[in-house]
Amino acid sequence: MPAREPQRLTKRRDQSRDKRAEERTTDAQKPRPAAPRKAAAAPRKPAAGSRVPGRALPANPVRSAAVEPMRLSKRMSETGLASRREADEWIERGWVRVEGQVAVLGTKWQPGQEITIDESARKQQARRLTVLLHKPVGYVSGQAEDGHQPASVLVLPETQWRPFTGDAPPAPRVQRKDLLGLAPAGRLDIDSTGLLVLTQDGRIAKQLIGDDSDVEKEYLVRVRYGKGGRLPEAELKRLNHGLSLDGKVLRPARVTWQNEDQLQFILKEGRKRQIRRMCELVGLQVLGLKRVRIGLVRLGELPVGKWRLLAPEEKFAYE
């Protein structure tokens, strides 16, 4: 009997080892509790002299969500602060700040940065003139060509039109020196008459003749159909949309009859001799062409060969 005791002890040790192994396997299968998250770090205080987001800047700040850097002058032009030439002039004079720092020529604007304009620049901009001229036939709108004078020669102190409007006093009389630097904002060919804008303000030029301009121009056009009778309705529809010039499709227009020989054209582009060429494509001969409106500004009673100042409250487009 005593000889069997070692066998029992060996058996109990084996059973104990098996039980411990089973417990370890069970513990390994149990899900472990997630480690506690670290507390969020407290926001860092800005260093002395650094910029605090949201702090108000001087007057006229501009912010944007644009996605890539660009030249500061280009950014100012895109946002309507100034023309690119004007912006470069202001930067040279130290009148432009980006995030509170005085800008220099060649400065790159970064998305989200604030642009601030000095009040001196605003005052200079307010002195820039825009005039409305009733151009006669026989003058070109731009530089002199083929012996014909530019319409700008008509803009003289003695040809200024200063009508009384109700109880309001007439516009101030302009001196010759103040009329220097006027440039046409658009074309009106030598055989046409009507409203022509000349300006010293690059913002207005960009608004009227920039690549993305959407300002309407209205014309009254006397025509004669070369095939006799009246222009077919299908050809009138082509004038509204469906014609191409120089290989490019024209933007939609609004063309309607005003009376038996006069059409109204409303365009949002200004190709060279566009209306005359459009009419030729449908068999119409143009007998007379007059521009009577640009955007919200009308020719009105302005006499032929006279000019007037664009009034402070007048705008070419809604802002």
Q: How far apart are CA 100 and CA 113, in angstroms?
A: 10
Check residue 42 and report its DSSP letter.
P
Average pLDDT over residues 87-115: 89
The domain 216-294 having CATH identifier 3.30.70.1560: the answer here is: yes
Tens digit of each residue's pLDDT (9 = 90 or more) over 8-53? 545 555 555 555 555 554 554 455 555 555 444 444 443 333 333 3
- Is the whole-model pTM more than 0.95? no
pLDDT of 207 above 70: yes
Share of the chain above pLDDT 70, in %: 78
Say if domain 128-213+297-319 classifies as CATH 3.80.30.20. Answer: no
CATH superfamily of 70-125: RNA-binding S4 domain (3.10.290.10)
Instruction: Report whether 203 contacts 310 (CB < 8 A).
Output: no
Rounded to the nearest integer, the mean pLDDT of the chain is 82
Sequence-distant (≥ 6) Cβ neighbours of residue 279 within 8 angstroms? 221, 223, 239, 285, 286
3-state secondary structure of 13: helix
All residues at 6 or more sequence positions from 225 whose CB lies less than 8 Å from its CB, including other chains: 231, 283, 284, 285
Look up residue 286 and give its two tokens. Answer: 């143009």
pLDDT tens digit string along 151-178?
999 999 999 999 876 677 788 899 999 9
DSSP string, 259-291: ETTEEEEEES---TTHHHHHHHHTTEEEEEEEE
Mean pLDDT of the region 102-113: 89
CA distance 205 to 220: 23
Residue pLDDT, tens place only, 219-259:
999 999 988 889 999 999 999 999 999 999 999 999 999 99
Contact (CB, 8 A) for 147 and 215: no
φ, ψ for residue 15, nearest 5 deg: -65, -40
* CA geometry: angle 212, 218, 221, nearest 5 deg: 130
d(CA 180, CA 131): 12
Q: Active-site positions?
A: 189
* Structure tokens given for 86: 């004007």
The domain ranges of the chain are 70-125, 128-213+297-319, 216-294
Question: Is residue 284 within 8 Å of residue 223, measured between CB atoms?
Answer: yes
Q: Hey, do 128-213+297-319 and 216-294 end up sharing a CATH topology, with the first three levels equal? A: yes
Q: Nearest Cα to 258, choosing from 220, 227, 229?
A: 220
